[in-house]
Structure 1
Amino acid sequence: MSEPSKKEIEISPEVTEKATRRRFTLAYKQQILAEADQCTAPGELGELLRREGLYSSNLSSWRKQRDSGTLGSKQRGRKPNLNKQETQELAKLKRDNARLTERLRQAELIIEVQKKVSEMIGINRREKND
């Protein structure tokens, strides 16, 4: 068997095992958009896209993001809870509501017991009010 030459080792036509998605920094996006905006001659924009390995859809989506002010790269993971204070207040109110509901239930139970006891002893509520 012959050993592979140095040139064969360096240049491999095989596809990598797992493709990785390209990530573009904010500075790179701004640079490409500035270059694309300066393109005036026919074919100049296509040349820029071929050179950078981009699609025209990249430019159009980046332009929309630039116009809306969201051009920066998105952070991965959980989204920040913008209504954290409202969520905390809602949780506090739910706890208070549950606590007060339980106290009301207990108070109604005590009142029912007092009514039954007064009926057993024979205390008439009308006599007391007169």
Structure 2
Amino acid sequence: MTTTTQPKASMHILKTSADPLVSQGARRATEETSGSAAPTTQPGADTEVVPRARRRQFSNADKRRILDAADRCTQPGEIGALLRREGVYSSSLSTWRRQREAADLAALAPQKRGPKPDPAAAEARQIAQLMRENERLKSQLDKAHLVIEVQKKVAALLGSPIDNTHDKS
């Protein structure tokens, strides 16, 4: 009977011990639990976060280098080997050729000389022009109203008054 009481007493001492390492070691020695020990992983590998796939991006220099190498290919199969070696699709090659031709044409296009117009200044000029036109039209309207008033007075003096229902005072 002493054998059964002895392990209980030692387990009770281990549970109440102030040193957590003693209890951890005893637990590992007696049973395997999932929370008893931290899993061993490499220091740089985080297993919970899956790395996201990123699209390859080629710089303009890389694109030009690959296009030049493709232009130098003369034998059948050389372009395919180049594409496999560089990890590029043939559609990318054709897109880059189109971009290169468009850039060459844009470089040869005539350029306007002088400073580029400022959009804010152009907007301010347009507002000033519209305000001048508005003032001119107001002046013309005032002159037209004056002429109409004179015509009404002349008609009243001659004895045939003009109807005022269309007057917009």
Tell me the alpha carbon deviations over residues 50-69 of structure 1, each in whole angstroms, 9 at most, x when there is no partner.
33332211111221222233
Matched ranges for 1:79-98 at <5 A: 88=122, 91=126, 95=130, 96-98=132-134
Quote how far apart the aligned CAs of 1:22 are. 4.5
Task: Report how many aligned residue pairs link the two structures.
Answer: 110
Letter of the 1:88 partner, please give it: A
With over 3 angstroms needed to count, the CA separation of the structure-2 counterparts of 1:58 and 1:99, relative to structure 1, is farther
Q: Which of 41, 60, 63 is the matching residue for 1:4?
A: 41
Q: Is the 8 A contact 1:33 1:59 kept in 2?
A: yes
Distance 2:85 2:74 in 1: 17
With over 3 angstroms needed to count, the CA separation of the structure-2 counterparts of 1:65 and 1:12, relative to structure 1, is farther
Quote how far apart the aligned CAs of 1:26 are. 2.6
Unaligned 5+ runs, structure 1: 73-81, 125-130
Match of 1:53 in 2: 87
* Of 50-59 and 94-103, the range deviating more from structure 2: 94-103
Unaligned 5+ runs, structure 2: 1-37, 107-115, 160-169
Q: Which of 50, 56, 62 is the matching residue for 1:14?
A: 50
Match of 1:115 in 2: 151
With over 3 angstroms needed to count, the CA separation of the structure-2 counterparts of 1:107 and 1:51, relative to structure 1, is farther
Higher RCO (C-alpha 8 Å, min separation 6): 1
Q: Is the 8 A contact 1:65 1:71 kept in 2?
A: no
Distance 2:128 2:99 in 1: 39
Deviating beyond 6 angstroms after TM superposition, the runs of 4 or more aligned structure 1 residues are 10-13, 82-85
Instruction: Provide TM-score, normalisation by structure 2.
Output: 0.46
Quote how far apart the aligned CAs of 1:32 are. 1.1
Distance 2:78 2:94 in 1: 16
- 1:101 and 2:137 are equivalent in the alignment: yes
Distance 1:12 1:36 in 2: 42
Match of 2:78 in 1: 44
Quote how far apart the aligned CAs of 1:2 are. 1.4
CA RMSD of aligned residues (A): 4.2
Letter of the 1:91 partner, please give it: Q
Distance 1:41 1:12 in 2: 49
Q: Is the 8 A contact 1:26 1:71 kept in 2?
A: no
